[in-house]
Amino acid sequence: MNRVCLPVVQSFFAAMLLVVSSAYAAEPPPATKPDPAKGEMLYNMGDNARNVTACITCHGPAGNASLPENPKLSAQVGAYIHKQLVNFKNGDRHNPIMEPIAKGMTEEDIQNIVAYLAKSSKPSPGAARNKDSVELGRKIFRGGIAEKHVPACAACHSANGAGIPAQFPRLAGQHQTYTEAQLMAFRSGARKNSEQMTQIVQRMSDAEIKAVADYVAGLK
């Protein structure tokens, strides 16, 4: 990482760590120990009585979604999955499919699904597709864009894209289409549940977003 970028990354990372740690510390502990068997049943079967569609329908077996518009949940940081479901449930994040599903789920349901995915996850591999931009994606992911004050993605998501448990999500192997769509949504303001990401991507061009999304798809 170049010296110009390093202090930006360090100060940004420290602020992110404080904000995210405080958010997760505020979450109430589960009433009972999470049950991955119940999580597996809800993930695979859903619950029609509560309008909870089976997660497997969109996210694939054990979280390995095959459609590029849907995120892979396999090997994803459990606290991140929990936060997103809670955000869909309370309206901090919007999606016409996920919102009604999350609203039908209890805190216990969410904890059980997180436990199931943590126990069963075997992520399917991804691959970068655009060899002409993969080097740009690598540079941004590892070193950021100093002149735009964009920190290295690796500072929060780790050098191999695996994320940092209970703090930042896994990006490695995620579908390019999904990652790009989320970054664009943060930039436009359509997705509002991470002020830090909104600030970062507002300083990135379409080409830079596409390059990063493609690069992380190939990380393992």
Q: Which residues are annotated as a binding site?
A: 55, 58-59, 98, 153, 156-157, 197
Q: Please state the residue numbers annotated as binding site for heme c.
A: 55, 58-59, 98, 153, 156-157, 197
Closest CA to 2 of 182, 161, 142: 142
Q: Provide DSSP, 158-208.
A: -TTS--BTTTB---TT--HHHHHHHHHHHHHTS--S-HHHHHHHTT--HHH
